Amino acid sequence: MLRVEDVSAGYGDLCVLWDVSLDVRKGGITALIGSNGAGKTTTLNTIAGLVSPSKGRILFEDNDITGYPPELRVEEGISLVPEGRKLWPTMSVMDNLICGAYSRKARGKLQDNLEMVFGLFPVLKERRKQSAGSLSGGEQQMLAVARGLVSRPKLLMLDEPSLGLMPTMVAKIFDMVKELRETGLTIFVVEQNVQQILEIADDAYVLQNGRIPLRGPGKELLSNEHVKKAYLGL
């Protein structure tokens, strides 16, 4: 579904990504792991169109979207759930969800899309009139994911979905990711909980200092000596 080919990108004169290439297969979970500062968020932001690559290209469903602005990538079916959720805390749950229906296609089917996310996250329907800032951390993460889903994406990108959550809620987040895959959604996820994400990922990439030295099936990387030493403390 998604192909990143030899992409270099960064901020001004600072290059963060160097010749990064990766594939995200349709209908699966693809994970990107790495230490803080490796360039994981920059990778997602470049795919979303928030950072422009200085080199390389990005293909989505075989279409070259390298020059597309972020809003057109949303129209094409790419949705990013950013690190830290980035909700509007004083706005209601419902208003946050409505803001996720940015694309023309999503606006035309807003009610159906809202019922879809309320089916996945019943607690959001119960609290749809509450301000987003009054929700618990786990509920806020559910809202952030639901907002991303309201656009009916083909590719959902998640940036550190378990960050800052209690262990019990972390387990629920990973169950949610698996359930979304079962609906046919394609998922590309950056995650700090390496053990948990590699156990469920179909494919995985290791990003180190802006480059990708390792790739393979998630469970295969779990047994890789470098991954065990660098990210699992084994």
pLDDT tens-place values along the chain, 234 residues long: 999 999 999 999 999 999 999 999 999 999 999 998 899 999 999 999 999 999 999 999 999 999 999 999 999 999 999 987 889 899 999 999 998 887 777 777 888 889 888 988 899 999 999 999 999 888 898 899 999 999 889 999 999 988 888 888 888 889 889 989 998 999 999 998 999 999 999 999 999 999 999 999 999 999 999 898 888 764
Residues 137 and 170 reside in one and the same domain: no
Q: How confident is the model at residue 83, as a pLDDT?
A: 87
pTM score of the predicted model: 0.91
Nearest CA among 190, 140, 133, 197 for reference residue 165: 140
Residues 168 and 63 reside in one and the same domain: yes
Among 153, 178, 201, the domain-final residue is: 153
Q: How confident is the model at residue 168, as a pLDDT?
A: 83
Residues 9 and 62 reside in one and the same domain: yes
Q: How confident is the model at residue 112, as a pLDDT?
A: 86
Residue with tokens 């980035």: 86
Angle at 113 between CA 166 and CA 93, to 5 degrees: 45
How are beta strands 211-216 and 203-208 bridged, if at all?
antiparallel
Among 111, 130, 153, the domain-final residue is: 153
Q: How confident is the model at residue 165, as a pLDDT?
A: 82
- Number of structural domains in the chain: 2
* Tokens, residue 81: 């759930």
Q: How confident is the model at residue 100, as a pLDDT?
A: 86
Domain housing 47 = 1-77+155-234
Residues 68 and 92 reside in one and the same domain: no
Residues 197 and 130 reside in one and the same domain: no
Q: How confident is the model at residue 65, as a pLDDT?
A: 97
Among 117, 135, 153, the domain-final residue is: 153
Distance CA 23, CA 174 (A): 22
If you ran DSSP here, which 8-state letter would residue 9 be given? E
Angle at 191 between CA 189 and CA 194, to 5 degrees: 120
For residue 67, the SS3 value is coil
Residues 217 and 107 reside in one and the same domain: no
